[in-house]
């Protein structure tokens, strides 16, 4: 757990709360307790530090009852400096309510991470409010599934083969047909932020898995056609991520004549991918 704590605190500025809570849950850490950072100067990020132990996980946030912008009157802090007040007990009393306040705040801001709202882990219904079939909805979904990547979403059309253009019995040449099949088509590009060689190595291996497990259960009902690509500083050639083989991995094949990107997915998003 100490190794996990050190790795998280090294990159604490790259985490948002849903991504951090998802990581702690995946690593088997105890359910986190929230507490405000008692520094008098407001930090530049929301999450200031994480402490992971065998029995307790503490996530410190710059807002709350003991934060720099505390709603408590100065009377409480003036009393703590008096000799007849046990400061440790007074802080423990305030931190009890501090956790409840922060938990309610996080539940309201990020309802997808609230286990009380989704007791069986079914936390995808609220995502319909994002309108996943739109560029802004796709940007939000891919940003949550790939927090280490900068996401770009563009609306596009899939171009079919040239078809003969005719006027009655006379051939006028060839025209390019727009082969969309009535489905909205989008191109999503994921650019891995420079977070070290280890991160660049892990993202391509988990890209297809995360796309299938995190995004397909939400997107399959909207009838989209998606092209998903990924790039990072260490990628020098175009690669295509193939279907999962007998060994349980997705082979990467060279794709000539294209920019140095990893092609994660290209096709219709429907229930066959579930």
Q: Read off the pLDDT band of 164 (50, 70, 90).
A: low
Lowest mean per-residue pLDDT among 117-121, 213-217, 245-249, 250-254: 245-249
Token duo for residue 76: 């409480």
Structure-model confidence comparison of residues 82 and 205, the more confident one: 82
pLDDT at 180: 47
d(CA 34, CA 60): 6
Question: Integer distance in angstroms from the first to the last C-alpha of the chain?
Answer: 34
**pLDDT higher than threshold 80 for residue 55:** yes
pLDDT digits 0-9 by tens, 72-85: 887 777 777 777 77
- Most confidently predicted of 13-17, 39-43, 47-51: 47-51
Q: Answer for the pair 230, 207: CB distance below 8 angstroms, yes or no.
A: yes
CB 204 within 8 A of CB 258: no
Q: How buried is residue 36: exposed, middle or buried, by Cβ count under 10 Å (0-12/13-18/19+)?
A: buried
| Cα 170 to Cα 23, 163, 175, distances in angstroms | 64, 14, 14
Q: Can you state the percent helix, strand and coil of the chain, rounding each to 5?
A: 35, 25, 35
pLDDT at 50 over 90: yes
Cα–Cα distance measured from residue 145 to residue 130, given in angstroms and rounded to the nearest whole number: 14
Asked if residues 203 and 245 have their Cβ atoms less than 8 Å apart, the reply is no
Percent of the chain scored above 90 by pLDDT? Answer: 7
Task: Decide which of 260 and 105 is more confident.
Answer: 105
Q: How confident is the model at residue 249 (pLDDT cuts 50, 70, 90)?
A: very low
- Per-residue pLDDT band at 52 (split at 50, 70, 90): very high
The two structure tokens encoding residue 236: 């020098």
pTM above 0.85, yes or no: no
Average pLDDT over every residue of 242-267: 58
Domain boundaries, the chain: 2-113, 125-273
Query: Can you tell me the distance from the alpha carbon of 67 to that of 267, in angstroms, rounded to the nearest whole number?
Result: 48
**Which has more pLDDT, 250 or 130?**
130
Q: What is the pLDDT of residue 152?
A: 92
The arrangement of strands across the sheet holding 47-52 comes to 32-36, 57-61, 47-52
Which H or E element spans position 189? strand 185-192
Q: How far apart are CA 3 and CA 116, in angstroms?
A: 30
Identify the pLDDT of residue 194: 64
Residue in the block written with tokens 């882990």? 121
Decide if 28 contacts 52 (C-beta within 8 A).
no
56: its two tokens:
């307790």
Tell me the C-alpha to C-alpha distance, in Å, between residue 25 and each of 19, 52, 102, 246: 10, 12, 18, 29
Quick one: pLDDT at residue 85? 79
């Amino acid at each position: 757990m100490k190794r996990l704590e050190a790795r998280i605190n090294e990159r604490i500025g790259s985490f948002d709360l849903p991504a951090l809570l998802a990581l702690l849950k995946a690593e088997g850490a105890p359910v986190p307790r929230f507490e405000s950072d008692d520094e008098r100067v407001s930090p530049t990020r929301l999450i200031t530090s994480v402490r992971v132990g065998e029995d307790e996980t503490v996530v410190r946030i710059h807002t709350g009852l003991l934060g720099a912008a505390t709603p408590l009157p100065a009377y409480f802090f003036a009393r703590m400096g008096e000799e007849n007040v046990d400061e440790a007990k007074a802080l423990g009393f305030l931190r009890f309510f501090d956790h409840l306040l922060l938990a309610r705040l996080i539940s309201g801001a990020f309802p997808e991470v609230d286990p009380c709202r989704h007791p069986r882990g079914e936390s995808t219904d609220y995502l319909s409010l994002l309108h996943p079939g739109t560029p802004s909805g796709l940007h939000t979904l891919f940003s949550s599934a790939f927090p280490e990547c900068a996401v770009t979403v563009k609306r596009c059309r899939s171009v079919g083969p040239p078809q003969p253009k005719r006027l009655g019995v006379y051939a006028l040449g060839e025209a390019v047909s727009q082969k969309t099949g009535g489905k909205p088509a989008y191109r999503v590009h994921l650019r891995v932020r420079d977070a070290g060689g280890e991160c660049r190595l892990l993202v391509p291996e988990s890209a297809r898995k995360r796309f299938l497990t995190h995004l397909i259960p939400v997107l399959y009902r909207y009838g989209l056609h998606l092209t998903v690509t990924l790039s990072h500083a260490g990628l020098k050639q175009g690669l295509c991520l193939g279907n999962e083989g007998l060994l349980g991995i997705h082979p990467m094949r060279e794709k000539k004549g294209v920019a140095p990107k990893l092609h994660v997915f290209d096709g219709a998003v429907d229930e066959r991918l579930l």
